Structure formats: structure tokens, C-alpha cells
Amino acid sequence: MRSRFAPSPTGPLHLGHAYSALLASDMAHAAGGSFLLRIDDLDQSRSRPEWEVQLKEDLHWLGLDWPEPCRRESEHLADYEAALDRLWQMGLLYPCTCTRRDIREALSAPQEGTPRTGPDGLVYPGTCRPPAPPSGPRPRDGTLRLDMARACVALSAPLSFTETGAGPEGETGPITTGIEKMIDSIGDVVLARREMGAAYHLAVVVDDAAQEITHVIRGRDLFEATRIHVLLQRLLALPTPVYHHHRLIRDDQGKRLAKRDDARAIALYRGDGKSPQDIRVLVGL
Ligand code: GLU
């Protein structure tokens, strides 16, 4: 078993991250496997080397260890480019110039009905989707979307994965997603972004395959996005790991913690003299 923790170095490590990392490490070690760290620093406009240093220090303090050097996304851009090339050659990507506002406006047209929301927000209305796959070389900059309907036709295996934790509605065990759900409730997701190259959904499947991750242990908020990840694994002929989506650590008001919840930064608990064992108790481990 190989698990991983994949933080973005865009802020302090907080209790929610600590829970996710400790659980991924505990589960791997209980099974005699290994735990890996990956630095999700694709978004160079928000990633900072200081945060990476701090988060590694906090993780070590918590008692976690991983093989070094760890994978840093910014050092593997060619891998993501190759995956995008492959999807482009399969005729499954198209350039999109819509702004968020364009999308909201298109969806407010009366014939559109009630807008749907998927894992990435509003389901794209298809404004830029071409009637036939674009020809010529893949554009190197700008947004590229996946043509979901076309992608589903290209599939030769069902979109299934094994969930050993639970989704937001308690979904567990074998999870299969129908093609209609992929098209109607998820739609044409963004796989490449201006100034960023690959988007999260593409990078995460390439990374998990490159690191030979067998078990992805992460927060329940990513359960729905897993359907996109499994689809990309099928299209790119990559293995599908087992997924374990865990409960989210919430603040006193019941809201899930975000990076900006600096009040729950591990560094502050450390400064207050708390021990790693205190952190385990706080997150219910
Ligand atoms: N960097 C992503 C995050 O922090 C990783 C998500 C994942 O584990 O797939 O949300």
C-alpha cells in the first residue's frame, strides 16, 4: 500500500491537513506500506517556498516521514503537457475563452433551465464547444476543456472505483458513475488553465500514477471530483487507486477549515506548547 498527502504550499498547515496527513500515514503503516509527500505547487501565483518549508517542518513535528526528494508538481510540467497532448490527439479537448461572467450569463438564458452545479461549480453551458474536434496542434496557452460527451463515448470500461471511506451522502463500497451524470452534472471540466498549464484534475491523476499510489486518502469534499479522476484514468490508461474520503475537521461553528483559518495553524498549537499527541486527540485520532 502506498498513500500520499498532497498539500498546496499556499498557507499554513492547519488541523484539517494534520488529520488528513496522519490518517494517510497511519493507514499505510498499519498495512506495512509507505507514505509519500507531494507538493501541489502547480499554481505558482499562490505557492511560496516558505510555506513548503513550514509545512514540512510541521509534518515532521507531527511524527511523519516520507522518502525525499518528494515530488513537486512544478518540476514535472512535461508530464502534464504529455497527458494534455494525448487527450488533444484523441479529439477530446477544445479551447475556451469564456469568463466566469460569460458562463453565468449564458446559463441565465431562459432556455437553459435551472443551472446545475458540479464539483467545479456551475456546469459549463458549452458555449465554446466545437461541433467537431479542433484540428491542428494543441494551443500552448489558454483554457482547455474536456468535451465530456465525446470523452464518455471514447470509454471502453465503466467508471467505477472502490470507496473505503464515505462520500457526503454516505456513499461507500463500489461506486459507479453513469454517463448521463458525467455529462449533465459534471460537464466539460477545465483541464488546462491560462498561465498555469495543467489544472488540478489532470495533474492529480498523472501524479498519483507516477508515484504508484494505491490508496488515495483525502477529505470528503473531493468525493465528487473523484468521478472526473476515474474518467481521466480510463482515457489515459492509468490505474485507478482505492479511494478513502474522510470526514472534514470543522471549526467550532461547524464550518470546514480552510487555509485562511490561521487560528488553527499547527504552528500556533506548537507555539502554545501542545504536543503531537495533543493534535491527534484534537482531530479524533
Ligand atoms: N492539493 C490538493 C488539495 O490540497 C490535493 C487534493 C488531493 O488530495 O487530491 O486540495
CA of 6 to the centre of ligand 1 (A): 5
| pLDDT of the residue at 156 | 82
Ligand 1 binding pocket includes 7 (Cβ within 6 Å): yes
Q: Which atom of ligand 1 is nearest to the CA of 208?
A: 9
Give domain 76-207's CATH superfamily.
Answer: HUPs (3.40.50.620)
CA–CA gap between residue 15 and residue 262 (Å, rounded) = 10
Chain segment 125-167, per-residue pLDDT in tens: 999 999 999 999 999 999 999 999 999 998 988 899 999 999 9
- Please compute the mean of the pLDDT values over residues 106-116 and round it to a whole number: 86
CATH homologous superfamily of domain 1-75+250-285? HUPs (3.40.50.620)
Pocket residue to mutate for ligand 1, from 51, 201, 204, 223, most atoms within 8 A of Cβ: 204
Cell numbers describing residue 271:
507555539
Say if CB 15 and CB 282 are below 8 A apart.
yes
CA–CA gap between residue 266 and residue 84 (Å, rounded): 37
Q: Comparing 1-75+250-285 with 76-207, is the CATH topology the same?
A: yes
Cross-strand bridge partners of residue 215: 242
- pTM (2 decimals)? 0.95
Phi and psi at residue 243, to the nearest 5°? -110, 140
191-233 per-position pLDDT tens digit: 999 888 899 999 999 999 999 999 999 999 999 999 999 999 9
For a mutational test of ligand 1's pocket, the pick from 38, 47, 222, 244, i.e. the residue with the most ligand atoms closer than 8 A to its C-beta, is 222
| Distance (Å) from CA 89 to ligand 1 centroid | 28
Cβ of 40 below 6 Å from ligand 1: yes
Residue 122 Cβ contacting ligand 1 at under 6 Å: no
Determine the Cα–Cα distance for residues 77 and 84; give it in Å rounded to an integer: 11
Q: Is the pLDDT of residue 174 over 80?
A: yes
Domain ranges (residues) in the chain: 1-75+250-285, 76-207
